[in-house]
Amino acid sequence: MRTIAIAAVTLDGKIALDPDHFPDWTSAEDKVFMRALLDTADVVVVGHNTFKTAKEPLSKRNCIVLTGSVASTERKGDKLLYVNPGTTDLKAILEPYATVAILGGAKTYSYFLQHNLLHELYLTIEPVVFGRGISLFEHLEGSPTHFKLLSMRKLNEDGTVLLHYSLAAAK
């Protein structure tokens, strides 16, 4: 099982203005990249808030939604499973999948990193500033986590940049 987080951030490290913010501020080039990467994933994991903001595009994909609103797991459709990671072994649920895409938001990215379940990160930096909002890993606790840059690419003339990281080996 290989887990890959995919996120777009502003220059000030925000992924959204608030939990209901529809992700319409990212570039067309990032959306193309994100869709292509999601096509390679066997399952997509999102938090309940992100799921609510992107229900329609996610409906075509095999999707796991993290939520405290179910006791353990609850199947909501052929391709849709709600999972409560507080009461369920999420790693065991993900284990059968070769490639797991983690699509956020902050609570979900933080959960995966906090529990050593995050292997790679594709980070798109969009040349825009919010000045406020939700930070990428804002729920993460404990000591700093180090990443290693694998590649970088400029996606358009405005200067949208795509960075690919893996977790750095422990020092």
Ligand X SMILES: NC(=O)c1ccc[n+]([C@@H]2O[C@H](COP(=O)([O-])OP(=O)(O)OC[C@H]3O[C@@H](n4cnc5c(N)ncnc54)[C@H](OP(=O)(O)O)[C@@H]3O)[C@@H](O)[C@H]2O)c1
Which positions lie near ligand X, rule CB under 6 A?
7-8, 15-16, 19-21, 23, 46-50, 53, 66-69, 84-86, 103-108, 111, 134
- Least separation in angstroms between residue 104's CB and ligand X is 3
- Least separation in angstroms between residue 97's CB and ligand X is 18
By beta-carbon proximity to ligand X, the closer residue of 147 and 169 is: 147
- Least separation in angstroms between residue 59's CB and ligand X is 16
- Read off the tokens for 72: 């353990």
By beta-carbon proximity to ligand X, the closer residue of 60 and 171 is: 60
By beta-carbon proximity to ligand X, the closer residue of 92 and 169 is: 92
By beta-carbon proximity to ligand X, the closer residue of 29 and 85 is: 85
Q: Which of 5, 23, 1 is nearest to 128 (CA)?
A: 23
**How is residue 67 annotated by DSSP?**
-
- Least separation in angstroms between residue 169's CB and ligand X is 26
* CA separation for the pair 82, 84 (Å, rounded): 7
* CA separation for the pair 164, 6 (Å, rounded): 9
The backbone torsions φ and ψ at residue 157, rounded to the nearest 5 degrees and listed phi first, read -75, -25
- CA dihedral (51, 83, 139, 41) positive or negative: negative
